[in-house]
Amino acid sequence: MAKSKKKLQITLVKSPIGCVQRQKDTIKALGLRRMHHTVMQKDNPVIRGMVGRVAHLVKVEELKS
């Protein structure tokens, strides 16, 4: 069974200032540190769930490796 090696490119486009602490913690757990910072994460259900919680703060692009 071959697994697809998809990755997500996640960019912080809106500041988490004023957001609830849980959303700030999710941003930190994704590895985002500052505005317009971009990280690459594996595409899996855990990361997708985290992105879903902070979808209003981030921009997500799917990449194939």
Quick one: average pLDDT of 24-47?
97
Boundaries of every domain in the chain: 6-64
Which of 39, 36, 54 shows the shortest CA–CA distance to 8?
39
**Per-residue pLDDT at 2:** 53
**Per-residue pLDDT at 47:** 97
The pLDDT of residue 26 is above 60? yes
Q: Per-residue pLDDT tens for 47-60?
A: 999 999 999 999 99
Residue 3: pLDDT band with limits 50, 70, 90 = low
The whole-angstrom distance between residue 24's C-alpha and the CA centroid of its chain comes to 12
Q: What is the DSSP string of 43-65?
A: -SHHHHHHHHHTTTTEEEEEEE-
Question: What is the topology classification, in CATH, of domain 6-64?
Answer: Ribosomal Protein L30; Chain: A, (3.30.1390)
Quick one: average pLDDT of 29-42?
97
What is the reported pTM? 0.89
